[in-house]
């Protein structure tokens, strides 16, 4: 079930989405009145199902139609997967930052690194390995680069 934490950030509204996005989601009720700029933090969205995707597209497209500027920050892997699968899941260039998955080659831990879209574009998808904070081993990017970063080249 999705919860929303709202915060005013200058003229923009910052909303933090917390929880899975599923069939019962009511974005209109959860977000209420939206100003001309909306920042959506998706860090804590672990899962979104197909009906959740449909509700998401419907809601955010309606905001776009009203002229609201949308910015998506700290997007989880679940959100990035949908951004890559559906061309109109979010408006072009609206994902400002997102989590990049890593896996430690030594202890197999799953790790997440937060990157800006600009930084990944600069790296051309070649994300350097990181040091695993748990065992000191090498943590490598753990997905298919052409797919995970695909939305940045669309």
Partner 1 sequence: MSETLLLISSLSEDQVFAKAVGAEAKLPVQTVTSAAQGAEFINKHEPSVIFVDASNEQLYLQFEEAIQNSVGIFSDKINANAIHFLSSENLDKVRYLIQSPLFGHFVLRNYGDPASAGEHYGRLVRATRAERAFGLKTLLRPDAKVQIVKLQSTGQKQDAVEAVKNYFVAAKFQPRMAVMIANAVDELLMNAMFDAPVDEIGKPLYSSAPRSAVFDLKDRQAIEMHVGYDGKYAAVTAVDLFGSLDKVKLLSHISKIYTDEEYKVRTTVAGAGLGLATVFRSGGSFFFVSESNVRTEVTVFFRRADNYREFREQFRFLSTQYYF
Instruction: Assess 147 for contact with partner 1 (CB under 8 A).
Output: yes
Instruction: Choose, by CB under 8 A, the member of 94, 96, 142, 152 that binds partner 1.
Output: 142
Instruction: Choose, by CB under 8 A, the member of 77, 97, 127, 132 that binds partner 1.
Output: 77
Q: How far is the CB of 76 from partner 1 (least distance, A)?
A: 10
Nearer to partner 1, 39 or 149 (CB): 149
The C-alpha torsion from 101 through 105 and 108 to 109, rounded to 10°, is: -50
Instruction: Assess 36 for contact with partner 1 (CB under 8 A).
Output: no
Instruction: Choose, by CB under 8 A, the member of 3, 6, 9, 24 that binds partner 1.
Output: 24
The residues with which 99 forms a beta bridge, in sequence order, are 114
The answer to whether 42 and 16 have CB atoms below 8 angstroms apart is no
Tell me how crowded residue 147 is: count the other CB atoms within 10 A of its CB: 12
Q: How far is the CB of 20 from partner 1 (least distance, A)?
A: 8
Which strands make up the sheet holding 97-104, listed edge to edge?
A: 110-116, 97-104, 138-141, 130-131
């Amino acid at each position: 079930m999705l919860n929303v934490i709202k915060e005013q950030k200058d003229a923009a509204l910052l909303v933090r989405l917390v929880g899975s996005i599923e069939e019962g989601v009511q974005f209109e009720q959860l977000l209420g009145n939206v100003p001309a700029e909306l920042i959506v933090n998706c860090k804590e969205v672990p899962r979104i199902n197909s009906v959740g995707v449909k509700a998401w597209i419907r809601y955010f497209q309606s905001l776009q139609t009203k002229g609201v500027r949308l910015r998506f920050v700290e997007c989880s892997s679940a959100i990035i997967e949908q951004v890559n699968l559906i061309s109109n899941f979010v408006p072009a260039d609206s994902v400002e930052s997102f989590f990049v998955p890593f896996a430690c080659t030594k202890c197999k831990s799953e790790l997440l690194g937060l990157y800006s879209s600009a930084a990944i574009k600069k790296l051309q998808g070649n994300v350097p390995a990181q040091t695993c904070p748990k065992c000191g081993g090498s943590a490598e990017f753990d997905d298919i680069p052409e797919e995970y970063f695909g939305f940045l080249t669309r």
